[in-house]
């Protein structure tokens, strides 16, 4: 079997697991970190799908800027999501 | 119970998608072959033989982004510019404090960040300047440089912007210069047409069937692909300093912002 397909399956699964964790996590800071890990997995997926242009824009935005923006916002509101 | 339903639905969706894409060969149906449109772009991106259709850039994505579909990208840049105007409007009247005694993170993090920042700048500039040759371009480079604004705000505290010589008004001015430079490159053919009478079109890059107007494609035998390098560099300025503005404003402490905005905006 093609190594690319195996790696694609692996990184997609990692992305899926961390998406689930980000959704159910009540501590918003942890949720942002899970979301960033999911983005890192997707960076690998996009690279394997041969989209280096998207990788270059996705990496700083989804791993650097977006979590930072959300963390700043959490800093201005509440850290834990209430029921 | 709810947890199990969520898990079950995830497993089910994944299995169905895996089944469709492997055994049902949906990828095969969609086609792994290069499609006609993609073939067209790939053949024309760098093709000196198709003189009136080519962009003269080996990077097909940048060719599409700034030439074949250039007006799309121009308006995307305008949308980004407007979005940051909205952010500035919310924070109107908030002065950026020049000196404040905030400590930031530990010395270890600071030293590592100090080492990383020059590397980050070098990568960003090279991604922008090579945007017409290798994957990347203005937006990618801008986003990479914007990470520095986050590092400065988080690791060295918000007051560090003033120390490295970045102020809010400077960042706003630089991003405006970026957008104006894009507009200038767009209008060069039109001005050329008005001055010389030679047929030329808005946002034209290289020669067309009825127009011999072309931007210089080489500087000292280095390929610059006409307008692409200028668009990439201008977009780099517009995007990076656009993000700088946003993160400078976001990194301000909430009590400082409320104090300056007054009570009527404070809740």
Beta strands B222-223 and B218-219 are antiparallel
Interchain proximity B140–A65, CB inside 8 Å: no
- Structure ipTM: 0.87
Q: A38, A22 in Cβ contact below 8 A?
A: yes
* Residue range(s) defining the domain that contains residue B240: 61-265
Q: Is residue B164's pLDDT more than 50?
A: yes
Nearest CA in chain B to A52: B135
pLDDT at position B29:
57
Q: Is residue B266's pLDDT more than 50?
A: no
For residues B32 and B39, which has the higher predicted lDDT (pLDDT)? B39
pLDDT tens digits for B116-151? 999 999 999 999 999 999 999 999 999 999 999 999
| Domain-wise residue ranges, chain A | 3-76
Q: Is residue B267's pLDDT more than 50?
A: no
The count of residues in chain A is: 83
Cα distances (angstroms) measured from residue B255 to each of A11, B166, B258: 42, 23, 5
Phi and psi, residue B219, nearest 5°: -120, 115
Chain mean position to CA A36: 4
Provide the number of structural domains found in chain B: 1
Residue carrying the six token digits 């800071």:
A29
- The Cα B14–Cα B172 span in angstroms is 46
B186 assigned to some structural domain: yes
Interchain proximity A57–B3, CB inside 8 Å: no
Mean pLDDT for back-to-back runs of 10 residues, chain A (83 residues): 84 91 91 95 92 93 92 84 69
pLDDT at position A67:
94
B177 assigned to some structural domain: yes
B28 assigned to some structural domain: no
Residues of B with Cβ-Cβ distance to A4 under 8 angstroms: none
Considering only the beta carbons, identify the residue of A52, A57, A68 that sits closest to B139.
Answer: A57
- The Cα B75–Cα B179 span in angstroms is 11
Cα distances (angstroms) measured from residue A50 to each of A44, A62, B205: 10, 18, 27
B155 assigned to some structural domain: yes
Summary mean pLDDT of chain B:
88
B152 assigned to some structural domain: yes
Which H or E element spans position B4? helix B2-22
B107 assigned to some structural domain: yes
Q: A56, B234 in Cβ contact below 8 A?
A: no
pLDDT tens digits for B193-239? 999 999 999 999 999 999 989 999 999 989 999 899 999 999 999 99
């Amino acid at each position: 079997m093609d190594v690319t397909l195996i790696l694609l399956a692996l990184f997609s699964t990692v992305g899926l697991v961390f998406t689930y964790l980000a959704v159910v996590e009540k501590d918003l800071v942890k949720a942002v970190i899970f979301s960033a890990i999911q983005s890192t997995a997707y960076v690998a997926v996009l690279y394997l799908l041969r989209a280096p242009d998207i990788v270059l824009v996705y990496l700083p935005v989804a791993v650097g800027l977006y979590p930072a923006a959300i963390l700043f916002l959490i800093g201005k509101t509440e850290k834990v999501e209430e029921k | 119970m709810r947890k199990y339903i969520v898990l079950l639905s995830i497993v089910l969706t994944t299995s169905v998608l895996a089944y469709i894409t492997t055994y049902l060969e949906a990828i095969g149906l969609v086609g792994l072959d290069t499609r006609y449109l993609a073939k067209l772009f790939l053949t024309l991106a760098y093709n000196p033989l198709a003189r009136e259709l080519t962009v003269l850039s080996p990077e097909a994505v940048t060719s599409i982004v700034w030439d074949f579909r250039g007006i799309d990208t121009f308006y995307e840049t305008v949308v980004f510019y407007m979005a940051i105007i909205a952010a500035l409007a919310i924070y109107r009247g908030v002065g950026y404090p020049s000196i404040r005694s905030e400590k930031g993170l530990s010395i270890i993090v600071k030293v590592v960040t100090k080492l990383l920042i020059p590397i980050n700048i070098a990568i960003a500039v090279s991604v922008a300047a090579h945007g017409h040759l290798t994957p990347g371009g203005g937006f990618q480079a801008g986003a990479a440089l914007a990470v520095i604004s986050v590092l400065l705000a988080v690791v060295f505290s918000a007051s560090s912007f003033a120390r490295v010589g970045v102020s809010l008004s400077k960042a706003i001015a630089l991003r405006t210069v970026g957008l104006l430079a894009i507009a200038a490159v767009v209008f060069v053919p039109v001005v050329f047409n008005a001055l010389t009478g030679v047929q030329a079109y808005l946002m034209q890059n290289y020669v067309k069937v009825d127009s011999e107007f072309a931007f210089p494609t080489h500087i000292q035998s280095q390929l610059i692909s006409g307008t692409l390098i200028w668009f990439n560099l201008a977009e780099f300025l517009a995007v990076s300093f656009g993000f700088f503005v946003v993160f400078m404003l976001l990194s301000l402490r909430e009590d400082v912002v409320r104090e300056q905005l007054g009570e009527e905006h404070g809740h």
